Amino acid sequence: MASFSSRRYLFLLLEVLFITFLYVSAFLPETEGLAGDNVVEVNRSQREFDYFALSLQWPGTYCRGTRHCCSKNACCRGSNSPTQFTIHGLWPDYNDGSWPSCCYRSDFNEKEISTLMDGLEKYWPSLSCGSPSSCHGGKGSFWGHEWEKHGTCASPVFHDEYSYFITTLNIYLKHNVTDVLYKAGYVASNSEKYPLGGIVTAIQNAFHITPEVVCKRDAIDEIRICFYKDFKPRDCVGSKDVTSKKSCPKYVSLPEYTPLDGEAMVLKMPTDKVAL
């Protein structure tokens, strides 16, 4: 009798554990992106994002890493190489500092954004010859990578490539960070160092929000400005206590990029001292 009731008790316990497991797993989100991830799986059941980060890259810093040239790399356009912050991507983010990625399968189709090509080439060029991985294991363009990894997570705000790219171009053009910094005296230079706090204040004064600043050593690599889902500006989550940001020192540089063509770049860029 005693062994019968303890077996019954064991079954009951297992049943409770199993039901708890089913319940918990139904409410857990699938993998969310972490810094430096290289997500290739598609996460179908991720919860809705909280806000957008418009990530802008500084060509003066990014192009210094150029080791060879190719036609798709805007660092290789000689005197037409970009001299303003260009777009890295519009990223849906969560308030807790994580983010969703590769939310549903929507293979990038360049034809859908063919009418935007001039703007994309100018303001959202690739600064690399690399072919990034898509969410499904293949290789593709920088735009394809951004659409599949980040754009597919922007629902219910966007459901298609065209609206993702045209809206990103529009909010970029409405928030001219390069111009804001220029007017505050922060111009590209290979000799000046600027206070990080001053750069942040210039952006706060212009847009009434605090950006996130990312550096590569002491050079500004990216500036991110953030938006609610209706594209009203808001603070970025990573902007808290910006002067103690892990990646930027107190004084930062905004390197000038001296456009060099093909062969010259291959010879001179590694020294990194040409324009000093």
**Under 8 Å between Cβ of 225 and 233:** yes
Q: What x-and-dash track marks residues 112-131 binding ligand 5GP by CB under 6 A?
A: --------------xxx-x-
Count of residues touching ligand 5GP (by CB under 6 A): 19
3-state secondary structure of 53: strand
Active site includes 150? yes
- Exactly one of 42, 56, 88, 154 binds ligand 5GP (CB under 6 A); which one? 88
Question: Among the options 15, 32, 41, 88, which is catalytic?
Answer: 88
Instruction: State how far the Cα of 270 lies from the Cα of 76, in Å rounded to an integer.
Output: 15
**Under 8 Å between Cβ of 269 and 202:** no
**Under 8 Å between Cβ of 203 and 223:** yes
Q: Judged by CB, which is closer to ligand 5GP: 53, or 113? A: 53
Q: Judged by CB, which is closer to ligand 5GP: 15, or 37? A: 37
Stretch of 23-31, 86-94, 170-178, 266-274 contacting ligand 5GP, by CB under 6 A: 86-94
Which run of H or E residues covers position 4? helix 2-27
Min CB(127)–ligand 5GP separation in Å: 4
Active site includes 175? no
Burial of 118 (0-12, 13-18, 19+ CB in 10 A): exposed
Question: Among the options 145, 148, 150, 222, which is catalytic?
Answer: 150
- CB-based contacts of 80: which residues, under 8 Å, 6+ apart? 259
Min CB(159)–ligand 5GP separation in Å: 18
Active site includes 88? yes
Instruction: State how far the Cα of 172 lies from the Cα of 175, in Å rounded to an integer.
Output: 5
Interaction between residue 53 and ligand 5GP (CB under 6 A): yes
- Exactly one of 132, 204, 216, 231 binds ligand 5GP (CB under 6 A); which one? 132
